[in-house]
A and B are shown apart, each in its own frame.
Chain A
Amino acid sequence: MLELDGLTKHFGGVRAVDKLSLSVKEGEIFGLIGPNGSGKSTTVNLICGVFPVTAGSIRFAGADITAAQPHQALAAGVVRTFQNIRLFSNLTVWQNLWVAQNGMESRKSENFLKRWLSGDAPARRSVEELLEFAGLIGRRDEYAGNLSFGEQRRLELGRALAAKPKMLLLDEPAAGMNLEEVGHLDQRLRKLVERGVTILLVEHVMELVMGVTDRIAVLNFGQKIAEGTPAEIQNDKAVQEAYLGGSSGS
């Protein structure tokens, strides 16, 4: 579904991502791990078009999205969340979900002006569903900035789903969560896969990664050093070296 081929990004002289090739199949949860600074977040930013690519290509569902702007990548079906929560804190919970209604269905179903000004009826229904999914129905008119940490994480996931993505790029969704919350997240991710969403999971919390993913790729200094099932990765020499021998792995 998602194919990276020789993906490279240089920042000045730094090779943040170096000839990265990998392929994520439809319906799987694919883990992307690696020590700090190994290029995981940069990869996410490249896929959704925040940074221009230095070399290589990104194909998604058969289409070339290498040069896509973020809103174009989203239109193709790729949506991301952020490592640090980035909600619109002075908008209400309801509005946060409302402005995110930019998915393909609403693009087709109503004319541009109406969608721009009021959003369409399916979009409003979708907001209600997402409120329920995120467990925030009672908090709909609260400003997002006033929510608790856990609620904000749920809202961010809900907001990412608002565009009806085919693929979610989750950048450290478990950061700052306790084990119980990680367990809830695990279940929620599995539920998403049942709904037909493919997930690329960038994560440091190994309990989550090893438990929930189908396959894992390991990055170090921008290069892929291993790929395989969680069991294979745990026994991989190169991976152990990168984490134990590296300066700041977790």
Chain B
Amino acid sequence: MDFYFGLLQIIGVHTILGLSAYIVLLTGQVTIAQAGFFAIGAYIAGMLTVLAGWHLVPAMLVAALVAGFVACLVGFPALRVKGLMLVVATTAFGEAVRLFWFNFDYQIAKGDVQVGPLGGEGFKQIRFFPENGWTTGDVALFIWFWVAVIMAGLWWMDRSRAGAVLRAVGEDELAAQSVGINLTAAKVSAFAVGGFIAGIGGAIYAHYTTHIEHANFGVILATFAIAYPILGGLSSVLGTLLAVIFIQGFLVEGLRFLGDWRNLLFGALIVLAMNVRPRGLIDERVLNTLRRTFSIGQGGGNA
């Protein structure tokens, strides 16, 4: 049973990470910085619970606010660059964050052991869950509660005017400006909200693995972050969830029996999926079919 709870935890955290990239991608900005915000959330929440003895929830929210604030700071210079240049800039930022934690030591004595982040050795003993007697089932439930909250929030945002504004910016910045949309506000707020969500994901991740180190937050993780919403399709947050289940559940776990061949097939299957469904697993057509089936009503008139 623990295996399945573990899988649920991974899928949950990666969904949060993917959703953090989803909102930034809506504005047409390809960001490789999400792993950086994720790392900031992880380390800060870890330090607050381990070193300062906070409860996880406030620690998580403070860590997410810090990550969101940093994202805001990244968002302003990111306004000036687009496309590949933005990819390069955000990659550089992500690496800078990783290297910061690689060099960051702050340990205090707790009983007879030293706790806290220790540079290249990482941050061990983030034992909030075991110390408070949470079972893996409790943890999975806790994670999925936050997944549900974030997904519901983004779903609602998507159907509100803000969602349409972000999409308008993503489609054509010049036209968006000329109908009076404030580009700076739209892009920076997308970055800030994305950073906040990544911070929450990082905070949860630090606590369920209990041991984090700089190498967890490299470019690979950042690539996964944008791969989920792109593979899932930017029509709906459901796409991101489906893509995480597809990659983490099916490709990573489901194909484990293939041994070393798994990694090869992994890449090939993603390429295949993108070829068959170029606008993502869940595109506008699927979404419209779903809407008709559940007769939620079309997005426009009554949104």
A contacts, CB < 8 Å to B: 48, 50, 69-71, 74-75, 79-80, 82, 86-96, 98-100, 102-103, 115-119, 140-141, 143, 159-160, 162-163
Which of chain A's residues have a CB closer than 8 A to the CB of B132? none
Query: Pick the contact of A95 from B164, B181, B183 — CB < 8 Å?
Result: B164
Interface residue B171 (Cβ < 8 Å from any Cβ of A): yes
Interface residue B160 (Cβ < 8 Å from any Cβ of A): yes
Q: Is the CB of B180 within 8 A of A163?
A: yes
Interface residue B300 (Cβ < 8 Å from any Cβ of A): yes
Q: Say how far A105's CB is from chain B's closest CB, in angstroms.
A: 12
Q: Is the CB of B167 within 8 A of A91?
A: yes
- Within 158-175 of B, Cβ neighbours of A (below 8 Å) are at 160-162, 164-165, 167-168, 171-172, 174-175
Interface residue range, chain B: 20 to 34
Q: Is the interface of B mostly helix, strand, loop or mixed?
A: helix
Q: Is the CB of B178 within 8 A of A79?
A: yes
Query: Pick the contact of A117 from B160, B174, B182, B299 — CB < 8 Å?
Result: B160
Per-position contact with A for B191-209: 1 when CB-CB < 8 Å, else 0? 0000000000000000000
List 16 additional contacts besides A90-B284, A92-B300; criterion CB under 8 Å. A71-B181, A74-B180, A82-B174, A88-B168, A88-B176, A92-B298, A92-B299, A94-B300, A95-B299, A98-B300, A99-B164, A99-B168, A141-B300, A159-B179, A162-B179, A163-B179
What is the chain A residue whose CB lies nearest that of B279? A90
Q: Is the CB of B171 within 8 A of A88?
A: yes
- Asked if A160 meets B179 with Cβ closer than 8 Å, knowing A88-B171, A140-B300, the reply is yes
CA distance A91 to B174 in the complex (A): 16
23 contacts between A and B (CB under 8 A): A48-B178, A50-B178, A71-B177, A74-B179, A88-B167, A88-B172, A88-B175, A89-B171, A90-B167, A90-B284, A92-B300, A93-B300, A94-B301, A95-B164, A95-B167, A96-B168, A98-B164, A99-B168, A102-B180, A103-B180, A116-B165, A159-B179, A160-B178
Interface centre among A86, A88, A93, A163 (most CB of B within 10 A): A88
